[in-house]
């Protein structure tokens, strides 16, 4: 972390809020055990065999301590007394199953730290359950969740959240009156401003030191901590959650905070789009390597997922502003599933995955820094579930997961590269897509668009009419509606310039969109499936718009 990053973090951390709201301590009490079981949304490394996604996580027999409401000074003492009464002997109780569930908007930063220390000291699990929120200092306390798994080994993080829960972090803040008592009407002069700045800087530095001292114990990444310190905080009710807080809302954040996502049930989509297929490949490679997968080319059987410049199947080789793009034919096999092709010279053997000709399957060629070319296939088995598989053994031969046993590093078993992995609705989110706010589409400024077309904000058709599935989704998402309207306007102008060529290519694009996004088959009643369809339509619409620009 360089000097400028630290400076920005300090400035964000020193963001202040004057609040006149009365302080109400949290309600902390022993509650009834959870009367429902949950399932793990993702596979988890564990001692011995990995825990499979979809495996049951049962809390029905766990003693349940509940924290409700705003966290204020004195709450940690009550929490400590309740836990000490339940677990009086640390050596005897170190393998306990107590769960501390939380539903709190936050409150006092240092009290949250103290509660985190207490929870870690008793080695109990933290959980933010269905529909609950744990924000600000509550999220700090959440990071204390850990268990002793085996004697003579460090504690294992034990913190869980439900996929309908909200866990959000931001930089700590304080009130001006808590920093320096200022009588009402006191003029703000240079001396007072300097005192406030010195006080705020001291508070920021002290808070950073407190967080840094706990990073190793919490087993959270430095990237996550810096993201948290870069969120100014302030509890502004008019701000979207993702702008005010760093949320644990995608697989990357789970990894960075050593947290586990639970769901009430697992959903395996009957159909996925090219976006869901690519994200499944992203997840599989990231899970094993903690590296991202750069996709160069994808295909549906023999149909190339490229732009209008390529009609036949082809793989992008090179191209820039000075040289036109060059494409190579994609080798395929006359079967449903991909096959391995090996070739070698001497003792060197390369492994390459060749896609099948089945138009329902997806195939991706890509590259991963440090590991080289990657091929990934997403296809259906006879059980009608979708599966994702890479055929690159080095993707799965990772040393990312393991634990110290004495002085020896013991690796944990990972996903088997010889076995396809089922694509659940969470796997189809990849490593960076939010399960909370998936409906949010990334807007794209088209700087080279004519100003009048750029200003279009509505779909190209009447959203009140009898709509097909694609049109229904287009009308539901404002960003997608605007993208459709702009593409239609660009098409009309390009049609004047290029005539039949543009008309024919538009028909091919519509057919390709149907094959890649599959609006007729996607389970649109499921919010995450509908969001995936919207992302697919949005991405292809933007690609098509860029193609049309060249004909205007």
Q: pLDDT tens digits for the chain (552 residues)?
A: 444 443 334 334 333 332 334 456 889 999 999 988 899 999 887 666 668 889 999 998 899 999 999 999 999 999 999 999 988 776 666 667 899 999 999 999 999 999 999 999 999 999 999 999 999 999 999 999 998 876 667 788 999 999 999 999 988 765 444 455 556 666 766 666 666 655 655 666 777 788 888 988 999 999 998 888 887 655 555 677 878 899 999 999 999 999 999 999 999 999 999 999 999 999 988 888 888 877 766 666 544 444 444 434 455 555 555 666 565 666 777 776 677 666 555 444 456 667 777 777 888 888 887 777 788 888 887 788 898 888 666 666 555 544 445 555 554 444 555 678 899 999 999 999 999 987 778 766 666 778 888 889 999 999 998 899 999 999 999 999 999 999 999 999 999 988 888 899 899 899 889 988 999 999 999 999 999 999 999 999 988 998 888 877
> Does residue 387 lie in a domain region?
yes
Of 375, 401, 429, the residue that ends a domain is: 429
> Does residue 68 lie in a domain region?
yes
Of 411, 429, 447, the residue that ends a domain is: 429
Contact indicator for 123, 99 with CB cutoff of 8 Å:
no
Of 204, 239, 263, the residue that ends a domain is: 263
> Does residue 134 lie in a domain region?
yes
Count the neighbouring beta carbons within 10 Å of the beta carbon of residue 171. Answer: 25
> Does residue 17 lie in a domain region?
yes
Residues 339 and 474 in one domain: no
Interhelix angle 500-517/527-549, rounded to 10 degrees, is 160
Task: Kindly state the DSSP code that residue 427 receives in the 8-state scheme.
Answer: G
Residues 356 and 490 in one domain: no
Residues 419 and 463 in one domain: no
pLDDT at 163: 97
Residues 149 and 259 in one domain: yes
Query: Bridge-partner residues for 127, per DSSP?
Result: 101, 160
Residues 545 and 470 in one domain: yes
Distance CA 101, CA 142 (A): 9
pLDDT at 489: 94
Distance CA 144, CA 147 (A): 10
pLDDT at 78: 96
Residues 256 and 290 in one domain: no
Contact indicator for 58, 107 with CB cutoff of 8 Å:
no
Residues 239 and 344 in one domain: no
Count the neighbouring beta carbons within 10 Å of the beta carbon of residue 439. Answer: 15
> Does residue 64 lie in a domain region?
yes
What H or E segment, with its residue span, contains residue 133?
A: strand 133-135
Domain that holds residue 333: 273-429
User: 11 by DSSP, 3-state: which?
Assistant: helix
Distance CA 288, CA 242 (A): 27
Match 């004519």 to its residue by tokens: 450
Distance CA 217, CA 221 (A): 11
Residues 425 and 444 in one domain: no
Count the neighbouring beta carbons within 10 Å of the beta carbon of residue 501. Answer: 13
Coarse DSSP helix, strand, coil percentages of the chain, rounded to the nearest 5 percent: 35, 20, 45
Query: Bridge-partner residues for 71, per DSSP?
Result: 107
pLDDT at 313: 43
Contact indicator for 103, 132 with CB cutoff of 8 Å:
yes
Helices (H), 87-134: 90-93, 109-122
pLDDT at 24: 67
| β pairing state of 386-390 and 372-380 | antiparallel
Count the neighbouring beta carbons within 10 Å of the beta carbon of residue 55. Answer: 12
The CATH number given to whatever domain includes residue 30 is 3.90.226.10
pLDDT at 308: 45
> Does residue 424 lie in a domain region?
yes
Residues 292 and 405 in one domain: yes
Contact indicator for 408, 421 with CB cutoff of 8 Å:
no
CA proximity to 131, closest of 108, 101, 163, 156: 163
How many domains would you assign to the chain?
Answer: 3
What is the Cβ-side half-sphere exposure of residue 255, based on CA atoms within 13 angstroms? 19
Match 């599935």 to its residue by tokens: 469
pLDDT at 458: 94
What DSSP line would sit under 386-401, residue for residue?
Answer: EEEEE--HHHH---SS
Give the E-state strand segments of 438-501 in sequence order.
none
Residues 120 and 79 in one domain: yes
Residues 141 and 255 in one domain: yes
Q: Which residues contact 129 (CB under 8 A, 6 or more apart)?
A: 34, 101, 103, 162, 165
Match 């080279």 to its residue by tokens: 448
> Does residue 268 lie in a domain region?
no
Residues 217 and 335 in one domain: no
Match 């080319």 to its residue by tokens: 297
> Does residue 108 lie in a domain region?
yes
Contact indicator for 257, 224 with CB cutoff of 8 Å:
yes
pLDDT at 365: 80
């Amino acid at each position: 972390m360089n000097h400028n990053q630290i400076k920005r973090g300090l400035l964000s951390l020193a963001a202040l809020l004057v609040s006149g709201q009365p302080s109400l301590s949290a309600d902390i009490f022993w509650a009834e055990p959870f009367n429902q079981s949950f399932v793990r949304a993702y596979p988890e490394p564990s001692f011995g065999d990995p825990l499979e996604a979809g495996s049951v996580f049962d809390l029905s027999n766990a003693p349940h301590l509940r924290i409700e409401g705003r966290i204020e000074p004195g709450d940690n003492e009550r929490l400590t007394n309740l836990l000490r009464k339940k677990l009086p002997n640390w050596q005897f109780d170190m393998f306990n199953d107590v769960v501390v569930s939380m539903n709190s908007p936050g409150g006092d930063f240092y009290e949250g730290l103290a509660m985190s220390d207490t929870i870690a000291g008793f080695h109990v699990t933290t959980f933010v359950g269905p529909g609950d929120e744990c924000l600000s200092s509550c999220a700090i306390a959440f990071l204390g969740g850990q268990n002793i798994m085996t004697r003579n080994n460090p504690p294992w993080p034990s913190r869980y959240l439900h996929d309908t829960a909200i866990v959000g972090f931001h930089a700590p803040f304080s009130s001006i009156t808590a920093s320096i008592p200022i009588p009402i009407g006191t003029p703000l002069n240079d001396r007072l401003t300097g005192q406030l700045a010195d006080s705020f800087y001291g508070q920021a530095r002290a808070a950073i030191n407190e967080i840094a001292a706990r990073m190793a114990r919490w087993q959270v990444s430095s990237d996550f901590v810096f993201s948290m310190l870069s969120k100014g905080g302030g509890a502004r009710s008019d701000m979207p959650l993702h702008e005010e807080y760093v949320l644990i809302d995608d697989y990357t954040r789970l990894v960075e905070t050593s947290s586990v996502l639970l769901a009430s049930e697992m959903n395996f989509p009957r159909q996925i789009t090219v976006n869901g297929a690519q994200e499944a490949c992203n997840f599989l490679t990231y899970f094993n390597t903690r590296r991202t997968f750069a996709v160069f080319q994808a295909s549906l059987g023999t149909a190339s997922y490229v732009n209008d410049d390529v009609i036949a199947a082809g793989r992008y080789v090179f191209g820039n502003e000075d040289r036109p793009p060059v494409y190579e034919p994609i080798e395929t096999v006359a079967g449903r599933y991909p096959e391995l092709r090996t070739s070698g010279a001497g003792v060197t053997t390369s492994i390459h995955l060749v896609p099948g000709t089945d138009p329902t399957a997806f195939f991706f060629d890509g590259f991963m820094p440090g590991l080289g070319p990657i091929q990934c296939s997403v296809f259906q088995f006879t059980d009608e579930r979708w599966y994702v598989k890479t055929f690159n053994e080095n993707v799965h031969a990772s040393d990312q997961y393991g634990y110290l046993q004495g002085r020896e590093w013991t690796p944990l078993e990972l996903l088997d590269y010889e076995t396809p992995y089922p694509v659940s609705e969470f796997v189809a989110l990849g490593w960076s897509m939010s399960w909370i706010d998936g409906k949010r589409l990334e807007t794209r400024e088209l700087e080279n668009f004519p100003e009048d077309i750029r200003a279009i904000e509505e779909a190209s058709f009447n959203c009140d009419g009898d709509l097909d599935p694609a049109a229904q989704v287009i009308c539901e998402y404002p960003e997608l509606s605007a993208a459709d309207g702009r593409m239609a306007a660009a098409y009309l102008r390009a049609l004047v310039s290029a005539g039949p060529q543009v008309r024919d290519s538009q028909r091919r694009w519509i057919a390709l969109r149907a094959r890649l996004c599959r609006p007729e088959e996607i389970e649109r009643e499921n919010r995450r499936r509908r969001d995936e369809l919207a992302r697919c339509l949005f991405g292809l619409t933007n690609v098509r718009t860029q193609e049309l620009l060249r004909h205007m």
